[in-house]
Amino acid sequence: MATEQRASGPMRSAAFRFALLLAAVFAIGAAALLVIVQHQIGRYAAEATNGGLKAESAVLAGEYAQLGRQGLIDAMVRHAGVSRDAQYRYLLLGGDGAHLFGDLPRTVARNGWSSVDVTEPAREPGGPTRETFTTLGKPLPGGLTLVVGTDNYDVQRMRARLSRFTLLSGLGIALFALLGGYLTGRLFLRRLDQVNRAVDRIVEGDRAERLPTIGFGPEFDELSHNLNRMLDRNAAAMEALRQVSTDIAHDLRTPLSRLHQRLEQMQDSPVVEPAMIDDALAQTAGILSTFQALLRIGSLEGGVGRKRFTRVDLSELMDRIHQAYAPVAEDAGQSYLADHAQGVVVEGDGELLAQLFTNLVENAIVHTPAGSTITSRLFIAGGVPVAELCDTGPGIPPGERANVFRRFYRLDASRNTEGSGLGLALVAAIAALHGAECSILDREAGLAVRIAFPANEQVPQTKGHSQAATN
């Protein structure tokens, strides 16, 4: 696809087609403008011509009323002058139809408005021209007929010039738009070619490659940004899947080998004891549980589950977990205390957050001896919701704290306890999905895990000794 796009050339690009469409719009607009302007000019010219003819007829009628027929003729001679370019032309007929003055044809000798075509000597190189005259006929006392006429030469010449100017302007704008579209198309294709080359490298297996910005506006840059986010999310999902596959290959080999040995013993034994079957089933259940935990961690690290985020009342959730596990801790000879600020709300998946804190509590109950104290805290520090789970057990050596959130990681002292070493790894994956920071606090004794969620604008209502919990 990228090769076809690069071979298409700027003449077939979307930018050039857009410029061609824009040029057509300009051409149509220029034509419409010409029609409108010519119509308005023609209307104005007609009104001006008619007004001038009425005024000239009134002036000559006044001359006739005061000076008689000869005075009228003298006035027309003065108005006509000696130039052929005089503004008005005349025709004066006597009562018997005799021609008294003027050079207009007799065909216009009628009352009211009329028009006539007259062949005029050449005003420009090229020979005589045929012009249209607008005339106004008016009867005078004594049976005379006065006709005043004027040509439309200036108006027609202005229309012709306007037509040529509009045509040339429209062509110039269209050519400019086409040239701009061609240059823009070349630049756009050059930018798009970089994107297509990046896509080619991604298709060929370069998972670290990302799309460059296209430019030409924030919407294109936003498109590149969103596509890169999608690639990052896919890369994270692929890495999580690869890690799951690696973990399965390395860390499930031992339980699978044990199960295989147990099944061989059952096969070789003449009598299969129920205890052997129960042990095999327990090992199978443990392997299946490990598989489910690995797949859950992989999907969380790939970003699956964000679309189910809602507002979660973290205070109410941690209170419920405390109520559920306080009796369990008591049966194990431990004390489980809670110090939760009220009204702490975060954006997240309630089920996953419940899994996170359940894993922390179960981990503390399993790995601390009788007589230990487990404390669950929730407070706001600098606008950041913070949850902590602390215990007074043996804790984790400082050199091992960086590894506790890895899959299948277990301390030597915990090798003989139940579990697969995935509890804290699942905690870290859920925290990362929620944008929370998961860390181990420095303590002289015991273990303290802190989950710091993204900042929000809530103001919690505290109870009990929640202020002391923040210290």
Query: Hunting for tokens 């697969």 — which residue is that?
Result: 420
β-bridge pairing 335-340 and 373-381 = parallel
Residues of the chain where predicted confidence (pLDDT) is lower than 50 = 1-7, 83, 408-417, 419-420, 459-471
Q: How far apart are CA 420 and CA 248, in angstroms?
A: 12
DSSP H or E run through 440? strand 437-440
Q: Which fold has domain 308-469?
A: Heat Shock Protein 90 (3.30.565)
**Gap between the Cα atoms of 315 and 378, Å rounded:** 7
Residue 91's DSSP bridge partners are 102, 147
In degrees and rounded to multiples of 5, residue 336 shows phi and psi of: -120, 110
pLDDT at 387: 94
Core vs surface per residue 344-355: b (16+ CB within 10 A) or e: bbbebbbebbbb
- Which residue, chain included where needed, has tokens 């297509």? 196
Q: How far is CA 70 from CA 49, 84, 222, in A?
A: 27, 22, 88
**Which tokens in the block code for residue 345?**
């709300």
One-letter amino acid at 306 equals R
- Which positions ≥6 away from 369 have C-beta within 8 Å? 393, 394
Report d(CA 124, CA 423) in Å as an integer.
102
Residue in 356, 361, 364 with CA at minimum distance from that of residue 427 = 356
Q: What is the pLDDT at residue 329?
A: 92
Going from N- to C-terminal start, the domains of the chain cover 1-209, 220-301, 308-469
Predicted local confidence at residue 386, as pLDDT? 94
Phi and psi at 395, nearest 5°, equal 75, -165
